[in-house]
Amino acid sequence: MTSQTQPRWLVWLLATLAAFSPLSIDTYLPSLPDIARELGTRDAQVQLTIGVFLAGLCSGMLLYGPLSDRYGRRRLMLGSLLLYILASAGCIWVTSVEQLIVLRFLQAVGGAGALVLARTVVRDLYPLSEAARVLSLMHVIAMVATLLAPIMGTYLVLLGGWRIIFVMLFLLGAGCLFAVATSLQESLPVSSRTQSVLGSFRHYFTVLRDPLALCYILAMGLSVGGMFAFITASPFLFIHHFGFSPRAFSLLFGLNIVGIIVATIINARLVRRLGPLQMLGVGSVVAACAGALLIVIGLTGWGQPFSITGGVLLFMGISGLIGANCIASLMGLFPGNAGAAVGLGISLQFACGALFSWLVSVLADGTARPICLVIGFAGLGSLACYRAIRHLMRQPQRQAVRRALGAQDR
């Protein structure tokens, strides 16, 4: 099946599935202080639910990618959605932060299936040049939902408390389960599947032995790591330290998502003409500029909090562009094992997110310095990864890859 025969609703469904992760985190960000107060625990323990959620995503994606290469996409997606629904229902009734931590981990393992398999379905159905565009469009749709998530979360909390957020996530999961069960056909033919589960998992080592693949994964990881450093620390920084109201914080968070949407729309329009590598280069330079600015702000305290907002907006806006082009390029390197490549790539990407989330929590000192320095490092690291990718692309054995990714020297 070619990209021209795909129905338009498919992109919307895949985008909704790909949005499970940000929706599951961003809707309850404004209520983190309320959760800590009601469950009688410290802020740091509630922040841990974000890191645990990311760890669950990583664990789940490591399983779903290779298994989907062997057994197909649809059955695994249905099973993962069912687990997500059950864990969301459990979160509604928790009485302690320990219960919430466990259930959030299980919820993430379920959501991981939707996250990784939505992207592998794109690789099954679309050629590489079109896949980068479709992934960008999916990202725009998912980011619109993410833009509304913290605002919706704030009003849900005002309406019925933080538990109603998990009622909403339960209903979202149930709706997607119904849509997949009734509308989505299997995208990976039996003839294209790997012959054994063990063989599918061996493909992880193939990906890990490729330095070019590792550079793409690290670039993705740094962009997501900086993003989750902001997600973890920003509620306490802006609400507690700078005195923002929950509504004002939601609008601030939404401003960053608008930046992501704008950058991703630009990427969708230009990537077919310039290629994923050229667009990645543009994104890396912008991320590095944002990172350098935030490091200066963190060390000097200049213009806070509005200078931080500007630097973070620049970094967050470009992160979607970096991610879409990295994941499309990674799938292009391993067309026969897209599930394993995407599963490992996104898993390590969110592992970086968990690491940066933990790092910014450990370094927290009640000021903006930790978040500025952590995001600044991520921005400069993105440019270093791009330079390494360009160097590896010049190797003679990479000429076919360079042509496929639109990386010819200009």
Give the global pTM: 0.74
Section 353-382 average pLDDT = 89
- Which pLDDT band, with edges at 50, 70 and 90, does 397 fall under? low
Distance CA 129, CA 122 (A): 11
Task: Indicate the average pLDDT of the chain.
Answer: 84
On the question of pLDDT at 132 being above 90, the answer is no
Question: What secondary structure letter does DSSP report for 162?
Answer: T
Residue 274 lies in a domain: yes
Q: Are 281 and 409 in contact (CB under 8 A)?
A: no
Q: What is the CATH number of the domain that holds 264?
A: 1.20.1250.20
Residue 189 lies in a domain: no
**Total number of domains in the chain:** 1
pLDDT number for residue 409:
41
Say whether 288 sits in a helix, a strand or coil.
Answer: helix
Residues 6+ apart with CB under 8 A from 257: 143, 144, 146, 147, 316
Q: Are 226 and 349 in contact (CB under 8 A)?
A: no
At 297-347, the pLDDT tens digits run 989 888 778 888 899 999 998 988 898 889 888 887 887 777 778 778 877
At 172-220, the pLDDT tens digits run 999 999 999 998 888 878 877 877 777 777 778 888 888 999 999 999 9
Residue 148 lies in a domain: yes
Residue 410 lies in a domain: no
List the domain range (segments joined by +) for residue 300: 13-183+195-404
Section 358-377 average pLDDT = 88
Residue 188 lies in a domain: no
pLDDT number for residue 12:
85
Taking only Cα atoms into account, the Rg of the chain, rounded to an integer number of angstroms, comes to 20
Q: How far is CA 38 from CA 43, 66, 94, 389, in A?
A: 11, 41, 11, 48
Residue in 220, 216, 279, 285 with CA at minimum distance from that of residue 406: 279
The residue with greater pLDDT, 325 or 377, is 377
Residue 147 lies in a domain: yes
On the question of pLDDT at 410 being above 50, the answer is no
Question: Which of 92-106, 118-132, 273-287 is most confident?
Answer: 92-106
Distance CA 340, CA 329 (A): 14
Say whether 15 sits in a helix, a strand or coil.
Answer: helix
- Which pLDDT band, with edges at 50, 70 and 90, does 129 fall under? low
On the question of pLDDT at 399 being above 80, the answer is no
Joined tokens for residue 76: 């695994």
Residue 107 lies in a domain: yes
Residues 6+ apart with CB under 8 A from 38: 161, 162
- Which pLDDT band, with edges at 50, 70 and 90, does 362 fall under? confident
In this structure, the chain runs to a length of: 410
- Percentage with pLDDT > 90 across the chain: 29
Question: Which of 66-70, 83-87, 93-97, 228-232 is most confident?
Answer: 83-87
pLDDT number for residue 289:
96
Residue 260 lies in a domain: yes
- Which pLDDT band, with edges at 50, 70 and 90, does 398 fall under? low
At 265-285, the pLDDT tens digits run 888 888 878 888 889 999 999
The residue with greater pLDDT, 384 or 120, is 384
Say whether 368 sits in a helix, a strand or coil.
Answer: coil
